[in-house]
Amino acid sequence: MFATLSDRITSAVANLRGRGRLSDAEISASIAEIRRALLDADVALPVVREFTASVREKAAAAELSQVLDPAQQIVKIVHEELTRILGGETRDLHMAKRGPTVIMLAGLQGAGKTTLAGKLGRWMKEQGHSPLLVASDLQRPNAVQQLEIVGKGAGVAVWSPEPGNGVGDPVEVARTGVAHAKEQYYDVVVVDTAGRLGVDAELMQQAADIRDAVQPNEILFVIDAMIGQDAVTTAQAFADGVGFTGVVLSKLDGDARGGAALSVASVTGAPVMFASTGEKVGDFERFHADRMASRILDMGDVMTLIEQAERAFDEEQAAELANKIAGDGDFTLEDFLQQMQQMKQLGSMKKMLGMLPGMGQIREQLENFDEREVDRVEAIVRSMTPAERRNPKLINGSRRSRIARGSGTTVTEINQLMQRFDQAKTMMRSMARGGGGMAGAMAGGGMPAGLGSMPGMGKKSKGRMAPQQNKRKKGKSGNPAKRAAQERAAAQKAEQRSPAGSAFGIEPQDGAPPKLDLPDGLGKFLDR
């Protein structure tokens, strides 16, 4: 969502790199470019003014650092200010000391509250809680049925005593839902409330009545990250009419500018606590302001990537795989398939790769990445027999044809996969043996074995040859006297390399030929 904003801010800062000292004019020009980028991204004008003023003030007062160059100091200041307007430090949910913790969701219709209720319920369940979803949206058509379907997909119980579609009292449903949670020992209650297409008195009154009936520990304002400048106005209206303690950004995987949603925390003072990043139930994560600021500055979000990997990967399997890569075993296509299945649990490959630092520089290639390629590779490997997966050397021409027919691919694609598998295995083994990952594998300026054969890495530069290739073999001189001298020198070198009497360097003893230990019957052929 923030690709354009990220590109423009990083471009504005990149112009300062390599400077030993920054003038006021250079700092002002960069801040002006950042200001335009924020405004174009729909960030609220008061927030932009406060942001740029703070960056300018800190940049002017910044002391010269012995570690950071001027451009890095500006990046550090911008990162700190982005973190501040996004809500600062990450806050945990306020959990009730006694009885179930009640979390009420509020927001406009279409913001994604019902889907988010299921995502939040599943996330709480993964944290070790026992959640209950309460269907208090009785106004929108089929809202109750939708919550039941979402709850079933998330593996979370749903309290829905009324059919909805305009039938029932939403306040009473919320009250009885909390009572049911106490009776059945649910420790978290997520109340889904109705919304409107716009802010009106009826919406605010119903939300306030539900709030007063259940006394929630948290009121989370769900806002569509794609609605533009109206996000700030809507958030302020809910803050004044109902009040909320935290913000949840939905549809953060969209392609809108989304800057207005980032203004909500600064305008209302309530932190952004969660983010919905996709359509699946598992596309839900804690919102960390500092990590989002790092993403915007193209510094990556490695911590979130590690946390997701820890949930998806099995520690014992990872340790066993590490031993195989290091050389204690053979890394097979079965291991490769297992790793692919675990990688798929992380979610979108584009999203995962986008969390790596510097990926903004290859955003176009990243956007063109075909997610279906992973499925095709899995189909190829699954079309092999167990013996072929364990020993890829068995896969000859006829077997490749059979695998191609079984996976719906071509023999060329099978060949490409096998080549990439060999390259990846060699590269991983080189990195593991080098110690310290890639840095260890490239110690001494060398490239890990196999990496040179990867696409784009195997081309030799023109005019550069290996040291032994630079030595040209000298030809014989055309001058007879000089050529005779060369021949005598060559003969002397040959005598020095091989002792007289033996072409194989075996020294004769006392003038007698060397005694060879030959098999019986073979010596007669040498006596002739």
Using pLDDT thresholds of 50, 70 and 90, give the confidence band for residue 458: very low
How many other C-beta atoms lie within 10 A of the C-beta of residue 46? 12
Q: What percentage of residues in the chain have a pLDDT greater than 90?
A: 22
Is 382 marked as a binding-site residue? no
- Rounded average pLDDT over 171-196: 94
Please provide the DSSP assignment of 255-309 as one string.
SS--HHHHHHHHHH-PPEEEEE-SSSTT-EEE--HHHHHHHHTT---HHHHHHHH
Is 252 marked as a binding-site residue? yes
CA 338 centroid distance within chain: 19
Instruction: Evaluate if residue 196 carries a pLDDT over 70.
Output: yes
Q: Give 210: exposed, middle or buried? Use CB within 10 Å, 0-12, 13-18, 19+.
A: buried
Quick one: pLDDT at residue 299? 66
More reliable by pLDDT, 175 or 255? 175
Each domain of the chain, given as residue ranges in start order, spans 3-85, 101-299, 308-437
Is 111 marked as a binding-site residue? yes
| Residue reference for tokens 């939300």 | 207
Q: Give 492: exposed, middle or buried? Use CB within 10 Å, 0-12, 13-18, 19+.
A: exposed
Quick one: pLDDT at residue 337? 77
Is 160 marked as a binding-site residue? no
- Rounded average pLDDT over 449-458: 34
Instruction: Evaluate if residue 460 carries a pLDDT over 50.
Output: no
Is 375 marked as a binding-site residue? no
Q: Which residues contact 227 (CB under 8 A, 6 or more apart)?
A: 234, 260, 261
Quick one: pLDDT at residue 318? 61
Using pLDDT thresholds of 50, 70 and 90, give the confidence band for residue 422: confident
CATH code for residues 3-85: 1.20.120.140
Instruction: Evaluate if residue 195 carries a pLDDT over 80.
Output: yes
Is 206 marked as a binding-site residue? no
Is 200 marked as a binding-site residue? no
70-85 vs 45-61: helix axis angle to the nearest 10? 150
CATH code for residues 308-437: 1.10.260.30
Query: Amino acid identity of 111?
Result: A
Residue 301 and residue 357 in contact, taking contact as beta carbons nearer than 8 Å: no
411-434 vs 397-407: helix axis angle to the nearest 10? 100
Averaged pLDDT of the chain? 75
Nearest Cα neighbor of 353 from 305, 293, 282 is 305
Instruction: Evaluate if residue 485 carries a pLDDT over 60.
Output: yes
Q: Identify the CATH assignment for 101-299 out of 3.40.50.300, 3.40.50.970, 2.60.40.420, 1.10.10.10.
A: 3.40.50.300
Nearest Cα neighbor of 6 from 58, 41, 45 is 41
For residue 511, the SS3 value is coil
Instruction: Evaluate if residue 449 carries a pLDDT over 60.
Output: no
For the record, the structure tokens of 446 come out as 């060398």
Is 113 marked as a binding-site residue? yes
Is 195 marked as a binding-site residue? yes
Using pLDDT thresholds of 50, 70 and 90, give the confidence band for residue 68: low
Q: Which residues contact 360 (CB under 8 A, 6 or more apart)?
A: 3, 6, 7, 10, 298
Nearest Cα neighbor of 388 from 346, 345, 417, 352 is 417
Please provide the DSSP assignment of 331-345 as one string.
--HHHHHHHHHHHHH
Pairing outcome for strands 284-286 and 272-276: antiparallel
Instruction: Evaluate if residue 83 carries a pLDDT over 70.
Output: yes
Instruction: Evaluate if residue 180 carries a pLDDT over 50.
Output: yes
pLDDT tens profile 104-117: 999 888 888 999 99
Is 110 marked as a binding-site residue? yes
Quick one: pLDDT at residue 445? 34
Is 251 marked as a binding-site residue? yes
Is 108 marked as a binding-site residue? yes
Is 491 marked as a binding-site residue? no
